[in-house]
Homo-oligomer: A and B are copies of this chain.
Amino acid sequence: MSLIVQKFGGSSVANAERLENVARLVTDTYREGNSVVVVVSAQGDTTDDLIAKAHEINDNPSNREMDMLLSTGEQISIALLAMAIEKLGFPVISLTGWQVGMKTDSNCGRARIKECSAERIRSELDKKKIVIVAGFQGINKYDDITTLGRGGSDTTAVALAAVLHADCCQIYTDVEGVYTSDPRRVPNAHKLEEITYDEMLELASLGAQVLHNRSVEMAKKYNVKMEVLSSFVKVPGTIVKEVCKLEKMEIRGVAKDLNVARIALMGVADEPGMAFRVFSALARKNIDVDIIIQSQGRDGTNDISFSVTKESLQPALDLMEEIKDVVKAKEIIYDENVAKISIVGAGMTSKPGVAAKMFEALYEKSINIEMITTSEIKVSVLIRAEDADRALVAVHDKFIGA
């Protein structure tokens, strides 16, 4: 008998029919002899509807009152799911964030979990009940309701799995698992049986929107085994854990990210502190920089290039104009029409030539590389946006095969 935490997102509980589907999945797991804790998000568009309602009244409400409002979305979901499970004749109880003792800091709207007693959950599990918990919400030390922000329900599920020492934290989504690449664009993409936390983190940050990084980071910290699987198709999903069994694959996935823009400062003075000035200015404005390259320019100056998200392009350009004279740059150029293609895999650390093999795949398709960056388990390149899909397929098939 295992203890399993199951998390269902907003689209999985969007209406009566889908709630009934979730109720069947949950009770199937219970009937197999497992203890089951279920975490649910607000139904479909509920959160957006509540935000619209608030803005009708006040376009700048306090975060505290916003959280008071938004937390009702999950409370509605847990009650309805409990009713659906009652109808199937199983013992069930729904619990809100405060009822399970989900303590957070006071950053309403993006609170971090501090601790969770889960006493009530244990006592209900002892009574053989299926326990439904509201995701996304907690309370601070004053008993005010807080919400956890993006990826909040995944994080609730992992936190409960950690506290309860659950055997697995299943995250149900609308895809069947984690794929080697986007199946809509790469015909040969296939589902992974397993992936490590670190690989999942790199993939998630590269645009594979299956799991939110926060939840994976917490799973890694507390060694919670996760499984990503479909709430609509009953097949095994992808297991996320610390160490995966050896596979012949060098890389675990290929990702594409179009939300990227390139900025270059040309002809920067070749003096100490120039790069420091550029990137500390960006950091002060909270502009995240991804790839950074500094190269020797002509006439003894340097060219400093970096990539940012498209939303950050204009603020970053404004900032560069301000410091242009300080760093003695001759010219600022930028390019929005770029894409980032990345390969991720713990396997590449031990195998030289992985990056070269990626470059070869692009060369074979005559795709030009503008920037390159590498980490322990990742290689990313910046290319023209129009080449992105061809590049994705070429790199995927080179490593993972047809």
Residue A273 at the B interface, CB < 8 A? no
Q: State in angstroms the CA–CA spacing of A62 and B145 once bound together.
A: 25
Shortest Cβ gap from A134 to chain B (Å): 9
Q: Which residue from B19, B69, B83, B87 sits with its C-beta under 8 Å from A79?
A: B69
Q: State in angstroms the CA–CA spacing of A154 and B143 once bound together.
A: 25
Q: Which residue from B62, B86, B99 sits with its C-beta under 8 Å from A65?
A: B86
- When each residue 68-80 of chain A gets 1 if its CB lies under 8 Å from chain B and 0 otherwise, what string results? 1101100110111
Q: Which residue from B57, B61, B87, B96 sits with its C-beta under 8 Å from A57?
A: B87
Give how many copies assemble into the complex: 2
Q: What B residues does A56 contact at CB under 8 A? A: 16
Q: Which residue from B61, B64, B84, B98 sits with its C-beta under 8 Å from A98?
A: B98
If over half of A's interface residues share one DSSP class (helix, strand or loop), that class is named, otherwise mixed; here it is helix
Q: State in angstroms the CA–CA spacing of A65 and B78 once bound together.
A: 9
Residue A82 at the B interface, CB < 8 A? yes
Known interface pairs A84-B57, A87-B58; A79-B68 also in contact (CB < 8 Å): yes
Asked whether, in the complex, the Cβ of A57 is within 8 Å of the Cβ of B80, the reply is yes
Q: State in angstroms the CA–CA spacing of A65 and B19 once bound together.
A: 15
Known interface pairs A69-B80, A143-B99; A61-B75 also in contact (CB < 8 Å): no
Shortest Cβ gap from A126 to chain B (Å): 14
Residue A164 at the B interface, CB < 8 A? no
Asked whether, in the complex, the Cβ of A58 is within 8 Å of the Cβ of B78, the reply is no
Q: Which residue from B58, B79, B93 sits with its C-beta under 8 Å from A86?
A: B58
Q: Which residue from B65, B75, B82 sits with its C-beta under 8 Å from A72?
A: B75
Residue A180 at the B interface, CB < 8 A? no
Asked whether, in the complex, the Cβ of B64 is within 8 Å of the Cβ of A83, the reply is no
Q: Which residue from B19, B57, B120, B145 sits with its C-beta under 8 Å from A83?
A: B57
Q: State in angstroms the CA–CA spacing of A62 and B87 once bound together.
A: 10
Closest to A99 in B: B143
Asked whether, in the complex, the Cβ of B69 is within 8 Å of the Cβ of A54, the reply is no
Residue A3 at the B interface, CB < 8 A? no
Can you list 24 A-B pairs with a CB-CB distance of less than 8 A? A16-B56, A50-B76, A54-B83, A57-B80, A57-B83, A57-B84, A58-B84, A58-B87, A61-B82, A62-B83, A64-B93, A65-B94, A66-B83, A68-B75, A68-B79, A68-B82, A68-B94, A69-B75, A72-B75, A72-B79, A75-B75, A98-B98, A99-B143, A120-B143
Q: Which 7 A-B pairs have the closest CB atoms?
A: A69-B79, A72-B72, A61-B83, A68-B79, A58-B83, A58-B87, A16-B56
Other than A69-B80, A72-B72, give 6 A-B pairs with Cβ distance below 8 A: A53-B80, A57-B83, A58-B83, A69-B75, A75-B75, A99-B143
